[in-house]
Amino acid sequence: MDTKPIVKLQNITKVIGKKKIIDDLSLDLFAGQITGFLGPNGAGKTTTIRMMTGLMRPTSGEVFIDGQAISTNFEESMSKVGVIVENPEMYKFMSGYKNLLHFARMNKNVTKDRIDEVIAQVGLQNRIHEKVSTYSLGMRQRLGLAQALLHRPKFLILDEPTNGLDPAGIREFRMYLRKIATEEGVSIFVSSHLLAEIELMCDRIAVIQNGKLISIKEVNGEQESYYYAEVSPKEQAHAFFESKDMKVENFEKGFVIPLETEAVPALITEMVTSNLQIFSFSLHKKTLEDQFLEMTGGGQIAESHKK
Protein backbone atom coordinates (compact mmCIF):
# COMPACT_ATOMS: atom_id res chain seq x y z
CA MET A 1 0.00 0.00 0.00
CA ASP A 2 1.22 3.51 -0.93
CA THR A 3 2.10 5.36 2.28
CA LYS A 4 1.03 8.70 0.77
CA PRO A 5 -2.72 9.20 1.31
CA ILE A 6 -5.00 9.90 -1.66
CA VAL A 7 -7.32 11.79 0.70
CA LYS A 8 -6.34 13.65 3.83
CA LEU A 9 -8.83 15.17 6.25
CA GLN A 10 -6.74 17.49 8.40
CA ASN A 11 -8.24 18.77 11.66
CA ILE A 12 -11.70 19.28 10.14
CA THR A 13 -14.19 21.19 12.28
CA LYS A 14 -17.69 22.27 11.25
CA VAL A 15 -19.82 24.60 13.36
CA ILE A 16 -23.41 25.33 12.36
CA GLY A 17 -25.03 28.00 14.51
CA LYS A 18 -23.71 27.29 17.97
CA LYS A 19 -23.42 23.54 17.45
CA LYS A 20 -20.12 21.82 16.66
CA ILE A 21 -21.15 19.13 14.13
CA ILE A 22 -17.61 17.91 13.36
CA ASP A 23 -14.90 18.26 15.98
CA ASP A 24 -11.22 18.29 14.88
CA LEU A 25 -11.51 15.18 12.68
CA SER A 26 -8.38 13.85 10.94
CA LEU A 27 -8.33 10.81 8.65
CA ASP A 28 -6.07 9.48 5.88
CA LEU A 29 -7.42 7.32 3.02
CA PHE A 30 -5.11 5.25 0.84
CA ALA A 31 -5.00 3.89 -2.72
CA GLY A 32 -6.46 0.41 -3.21
CA GLN A 33 -8.07 0.42 0.23
CA ILE A 34 -11.79 0.29 1.08
CA THR A 35 -12.64 2.22 4.24
CA GLY A 36 -16.02 1.87 5.95
CA PHE A 37 -17.54 4.86 7.74
CA LEU A 38 -19.91 4.18 10.64
CA GLY A 39 -21.66 6.30 13.21
CA PRO A 40 -24.91 6.63 15.19
CA ASN A 41 -27.73 8.95 14.15
CA GLY A 42 -26.53 12.54 13.99
CA ALA A 43 -22.87 11.58 14.46
CA GLY A 44 -21.78 13.71 11.50
CA LYS A 45 -21.31 11.16 8.68
CA THR A 46 -23.30 13.10 6.07
CA THR A 47 -21.67 16.41 7.04
CA THR A 48 -18.21 14.81 6.67
CA ILE A 49 -19.10 13.45 3.22
CA ARG A 50 -20.42 16.85 2.13
CA MET A 51 -17.12 18.45 3.09
CA MET A 52 -15.17 15.72 1.27
CA THR A 53 -17.16 16.39 -1.91
CA GLY A 54 -16.90 20.17 -1.69
CA LEU A 55 -20.63 20.66 -1.04
CA MET A 56 -19.90 22.21 2.36
CA ARG A 57 -16.91 24.20 3.61
CA PRO A 58 -15.24 23.29 6.92
CA THR A 59 -15.28 26.00 9.58
CA SER A 60 -11.60 25.16 10.08
CA GLY A 61 -9.19 22.51 8.82
CA GLU A 62 -8.66 21.29 5.27
CA VAL A 63 -9.53 18.42 2.93
CA PHE A 64 -6.78 17.36 0.53
CA ILE A 65 -7.45 15.19 -2.54
CA ASP A 66 -4.28 13.78 -4.11
CA GLY A 67 -2.25 16.53 -2.46
CA GLN A 68 -4.54 19.38 -3.57
CA ALA A 69 -6.54 21.41 -1.04
CA ILE A 70 -10.24 21.58 -1.95
CA SER A 71 -10.48 25.19 -0.72
CA THR A 72 -7.82 26.48 -3.14
CA ASN A 73 -7.94 23.91 -5.98
CA PHE A 74 -11.61 22.95 -6.10
CA GLU A 75 -11.94 21.87 -9.75
CA GLU A 76 -8.63 20.02 -9.80
CA SER A 77 -9.49 18.21 -6.54
CA MET A 78 -13.02 17.28 -7.62
CA SER A 79 -11.76 15.91 -10.94
CA LYS A 80 -10.19 13.08 -8.89
CA VAL A 81 -13.46 12.20 -7.09
CA GLY A 82 -16.35 9.88 -8.05
CA VAL A 83 -19.57 9.78 -5.99
CA ILE A 84 -22.52 7.43 -5.64
CA VAL A 85 -25.25 8.55 -3.24
CA GLU A 86 -27.76 5.81 -2.43
CA ASN A 87 -29.71 5.03 -5.65
CA PRO A 88 -28.05 6.83 -8.60
CA GLU A 89 -30.38 8.86 -10.82
CA MET A 90 -30.36 7.69 -14.43
CA TYR A 91 -32.42 8.49 -17.55
CA LYS A 92 -34.67 5.41 -17.56
CA PHE A 93 -35.99 5.98 -21.09
CA MET A 94 -32.42 5.75 -22.45
CA SER A 95 -30.16 2.71 -22.68
CA GLY A 96 -27.39 2.19 -20.18
CA TYR A 97 -24.86 2.96 -22.89
CA LYS A 98 -26.53 6.28 -23.84
CA ASN A 99 -26.58 7.25 -20.17
CA LEU A 100 -22.83 6.69 -19.97
CA LEU A 101 -22.32 8.57 -23.24
CA HIS A 102 -24.29 11.49 -21.80
CA PHE A 103 -22.19 11.57 -18.60
CA ALA A 104 -18.96 11.11 -20.58
CA ARG A 105 -19.64 14.38 -22.46
CA MET A 106 -19.54 16.22 -19.12
CA ASN A 107 -15.93 15.14 -18.57
CA LYS A 108 -12.83 15.82 -20.60
CA ASN A 109 -11.01 13.02 -22.39
CA VAL A 110 -13.47 10.18 -21.72
CA THR A 111 -13.12 8.03 -24.84
CA LYS A 112 -15.48 5.34 -26.14
CA ASP A 113 -12.77 2.83 -25.22
CA ARG A 114 -13.00 4.05 -21.62
CA ILE A 115 -16.79 3.64 -21.68
CA ASP A 116 -16.39 0.05 -22.90
CA GLU A 117 -13.77 -0.53 -20.20
CA VAL A 118 -16.02 0.53 -17.30
CA ILE A 119 -18.96 -1.42 -18.75
CA ALA A 120 -16.78 -4.55 -18.62
CA GLN A 121 -15.55 -3.68 -15.12
CA VAL A 122 -19.09 -3.70 -13.72
CA GLY A 123 -20.25 -6.68 -15.80
CA LEU A 124 -22.98 -4.97 -17.86
CA GLN A 125 -21.81 -5.96 -21.36
CA ASN A 126 -24.89 -8.10 -22.10
CA ARG A 127 -27.51 -5.50 -21.12
CA ILE A 128 -25.82 -2.14 -21.73
CA HIS A 129 -27.85 -1.33 -24.90
CA GLU A 130 -31.20 -1.99 -23.19
CA LYS A 131 -33.28 0.74 -21.57
CA VAL A 132 -32.47 1.46 -17.93
CA SER A 133 -36.21 1.04 -17.15
CA THR A 134 -35.70 -2.71 -17.71
CA TYR A 135 -32.78 -2.91 -15.26
CA SER A 136 -33.00 -4.40 -11.77
CA LEU A 137 -31.93 -2.19 -8.85
CA GLY A 138 -28.61 -4.05 -8.70
CA MET A 139 -27.96 -3.34 -12.39
CA ARG A 140 -28.78 0.35 -11.90
CA GLN A 141 -26.31 0.46 -9.00
CA ARG A 142 -23.64 -1.07 -11.22
CA LEU A 143 -24.43 1.45 -13.98
CA GLY A 144 -24.06 4.21 -11.37
CA LEU A 145 -20.71 2.75 -10.41
CA ALA A 146 -19.64 2.70 -14.08
CA GLN A 147 -20.69 6.34 -14.43
CA ALA A 148 -18.69 7.34 -11.32
CA LEU A 149 -15.59 5.60 -12.74
CA LEU A 150 -15.70 7.12 -16.23
CA HIS A 151 -13.16 9.88 -15.53
CA ARG A 152 -10.73 7.53 -13.70
CA PRO A 153 -11.17 8.97 -10.20
CA LYS A 154 -8.55 8.27 -7.56
CA PHE A 155 -11.17 8.51 -4.82
CA LEU A 156 -14.67 7.02 -4.80
CA ILE A 157 -17.30 7.96 -2.18
CA LEU A 158 -20.32 5.69 -1.73
CA ASP A 159 -23.13 6.73 0.60
CA GLU A 160 -25.44 3.77 1.38
CA PRO A 161 -24.54 2.09 -1.95
CA THR A 162 -26.30 -1.22 -1.27
CA ASN A 163 -29.53 0.28 0.07
CA GLY A 164 -32.48 -1.78 -1.18
CA LEU A 165 -30.38 -4.51 -2.79
CA ASP A 166 -31.08 -8.18 -2.10
CA PRO A 167 -28.26 -10.36 -0.67
CA ALA A 168 -27.15 -11.53 -4.14
CA GLY A 169 -27.04 -7.93 -5.39
CA ILE A 170 -25.05 -6.81 -2.36
CA ARG A 171 -22.54 -9.62 -2.82
CA GLU A 172 -22.17 -8.79 -6.52
CA PHE A 173 -21.69 -5.07 -5.84
CA ARG A 174 -19.11 -5.89 -3.16
CA MET A 175 -17.18 -8.03 -5.65
CA TYR A 176 -17.04 -5.19 -8.20
CA LEU A 177 -15.87 -2.69 -5.57
CA ARG A 178 -13.05 -4.99 -4.51
CA LYS A 179 -12.03 -5.46 -8.16
CA ILE A 180 -11.93 -1.69 -8.74
CA ALA A 181 -9.92 -1.02 -5.57
CA THR A 182 -7.40 -3.73 -6.45
CA GLU A 183 -7.07 -3.28 -10.22
CA GLU A 184 -7.40 0.52 -10.46
CA GLY A 185 -5.84 1.43 -7.10
CA VAL A 186 -8.87 3.56 -6.23
CA SER A 187 -9.37 4.63 -2.62
CA ILE A 188 -12.99 3.78 -1.74
CA PHE A 189 -14.93 5.32 1.15
CA VAL A 190 -18.22 3.60 2.07
CA SER A 191 -20.78 5.04 4.48
CA SER A 192 -23.41 2.47 5.44
CA HIS A 193 -25.61 1.28 8.30
CA LEU A 194 -25.27 -2.39 7.23
CA LEU A 195 -22.61 -3.48 9.71
CA ALA A 196 -22.25 -7.08 8.50
CA GLU A 197 -21.86 -5.80 4.95
CA ILE A 198 -19.24 -3.21 5.94
CA GLU A 199 -17.31 -5.96 7.72
CA LEU A 200 -17.20 -8.07 4.54
CA MET A 201 -16.57 -5.18 2.16
CA CYS A 202 -13.91 -3.09 3.88
CA ASP A 203 -10.21 -3.24 4.76
CA ARG A 204 -10.68 -0.93 7.72
CA ILE A 205 -13.45 0.88 9.53
CA ALA A 206 -13.62 4.43 10.88
CA VAL A 207 -16.23 5.14 13.57
CA ILE A 208 -17.53 8.64 14.28
CA GLN A 209 -19.56 9.73 17.30
CA ASN A 210 -20.65 13.26 18.26
CA GLY A 211 -18.51 14.62 15.44
CA LYS A 212 -15.33 12.98 16.73
CA LEU A 213 -13.44 10.06 15.18
CA ILE A 214 -13.42 7.51 18.01
CA SER A 215 -11.89 4.48 16.27
CA ILE A 216 -10.02 3.34 13.17
CA LYS A 217 -9.95 -0.44 13.06
CA GLU A 218 -8.28 -2.73 10.54
CA VAL A 219 -10.48 -5.57 9.29
CA ASN A 220 -8.27 -8.65 9.15
CA GLY A 221 -10.80 -11.45 9.55
CA GLU A 222 -9.69 -12.11 13.13
CA GLN A 223 -12.62 -11.43 15.44
CA GLU A 224 -12.32 -10.87 19.16
CA SER A 225 -13.91 -13.69 21.12
CA TYR A 226 -15.32 -14.34 24.58
CA TYR A 227 -16.85 -17.22 26.52
CA TYR A 228 -20.38 -17.24 27.88
CA ALA A 229 -21.22 -19.50 30.84
CA GLU A 230 -24.49 -20.22 32.62
CA VAL A 231 -23.53 -21.18 36.16
CA SER A 232 -25.42 -21.79 39.39
CA PRO A 233 -25.64 -20.65 42.12
CA LYS A 234 -24.95 -17.19 40.71
CA GLU A 235 -23.76 -15.48 43.90
CA GLN A 236 -21.28 -18.25 44.55
CA ALA A 237 -20.12 -18.11 40.92
CA HIS A 238 -19.63 -14.35 41.14
CA ALA A 239 -17.53 -14.76 44.30
CA PHE A 240 -15.52 -17.48 42.52
CA PHE A 241 -14.67 -15.20 39.59
CA GLU A 242 -13.80 -12.34 41.95
CA SER A 243 -11.41 -14.62 43.85
CA LYS A 244 -9.67 -15.31 40.51
CA ASP A 245 -9.50 -11.54 39.81
CA MET A 246 -11.44 -12.17 36.59
CA LYS A 247 -13.35 -9.20 35.14
CA VAL A 248 -16.54 -10.94 34.07
CA GLU A 249 -19.79 -9.33 32.91
CA ASN A 250 -22.84 -10.42 34.88
CA PHE A 251 -26.00 -11.15 32.87
CA GLU A 252 -29.42 -12.41 34.01
CA LYS A 253 -28.64 -16.07 33.28
CA GLY A 254 -24.87 -16.17 33.10
CA PHE A 255 -21.48 -14.51 32.71
CA VAL A 256 -19.36 -13.21 29.85
CA ILE A 257 -15.81 -14.34 30.57
CA PRO A 258 -12.70 -12.91 28.85
CA LEU A 259 -10.53 -16.01 28.58
CA GLU A 260 -7.82 -17.56 26.41
CA THR A 261 -8.84 -20.90 24.89
CA GLU A 262 -6.01 -22.81 26.52
CA ALA A 263 -7.19 -21.67 29.98
CA VAL A 264 -10.70 -23.12 29.55
CA PRO A 265 -10.14 -26.74 30.78
CA ALA A 266 -8.42 -25.64 34.02
CA LEU A 267 -11.13 -23.05 34.76
CA ILE A 268 -13.95 -25.57 34.23
CA THR A 269 -12.18 -28.08 36.49
CA GLU A 270 -11.85 -25.45 39.25
CA MET A 271 -15.52 -24.45 38.86
CA VAL A 272 -16.65 -28.08 39.26
CA THR A 273 -14.32 -28.53 42.24
CA SER A 274 -15.89 -25.41 43.79
CA ASN A 275 -19.31 -27.11 43.55
CA LEU A 276 -20.59 -24.78 40.83
CA GLN A 277 -23.15 -26.24 38.43
CA ILE A 278 -22.29 -25.47 34.79
CA PHE A 279 -25.32 -25.52 32.47
CA SER A 280 -23.52 -24.11 29.43
CA PHE A 281 -20.04 -22.91 28.49
CA SER A 282 -19.67 -21.63 24.92
CA LEU A 283 -17.37 -19.57 22.69
CA HIS A 284 -18.78 -16.49 20.93
CA LYS A 285 -17.13 -14.27 18.32
CA LYS A 286 -17.58 -10.51 18.67
CA THR A 287 -19.21 -9.22 15.51
CA LEU A 288 -18.64 -5.73 14.18
CA GLU A 289 -22.09 -4.92 15.57
CA ASP A 290 -20.98 -5.98 19.08
CA GLN A 291 -17.87 -3.82 18.81
CA PHE A 292 -19.78 -0.86 17.35
CA LEU A 293 -22.33 -0.94 20.17
CA GLU A 294 -19.53 -1.15 22.75
CA MET A 295 -17.78 1.87 21.24
CA THR A 296 -20.88 4.03 20.84
CA GLY A 297 -22.81 2.97 23.91
CA GLY A 298 -25.63 1.47 21.85
CA GLY A 299 -26.30 4.43 19.53
CA GLN A 300 -28.39 3.83 16.42
CA ILE A 301 -26.34 3.37 13.26
CA ALA A 302 -28.47 4.68 10.43
CA GLU A 303 -28.40 8.39 9.74
CA SER A 304 -30.88 10.55 7.90
CA HIS A 305 -29.63 11.94 4.59
CA LYS A 306 -31.78 15.05 4.93
CA LYS A 307 -29.61 16.83 7.47
Per the rule left: phi > 0, alpha: psi between -120 and 50, beta: everything else, 66 is: left
Which regions of the chain does DSSP assign to beta strands (E)?
7-16, 19-29, 34-38, 60-65, 68-69, 81-85, 155-159, 187-191, 204-209, 212-218, 225-232, 249-250, 255-257, 277-285
Does the structure show a pLDDT above 60 at 79?
yes
Instruction: Say yes or no to pLDDT of 260 above 70.
Output: yes
The rounded mean pLDDT for the chain is 84
Domain extents for the chain? 225-285
Residues 20-77 pLDDT 10s: 999 999 999 999 999 999 887 778 888 999 999 888 999 999 999 999 999 999 988 9
Architecture of domain 225-285: 2-Layer Sandwich (3.30)
Interval 85-96: pLDDT, tens: 766 678 889 999
Give the range with max mean pLDDT: 50-54, 191-195, 279-283. Answer: 50-54
210 within 8 A of 43, measured Cβ to Cβ: yes
* Distance in angstroms between the alpha carbons of the first and the last residue of the chain: 35
For the entire predicted model, the pTM comes to 0.72
Q: What distance lies between CA 163 and its chain's CA centroid?
A: 13
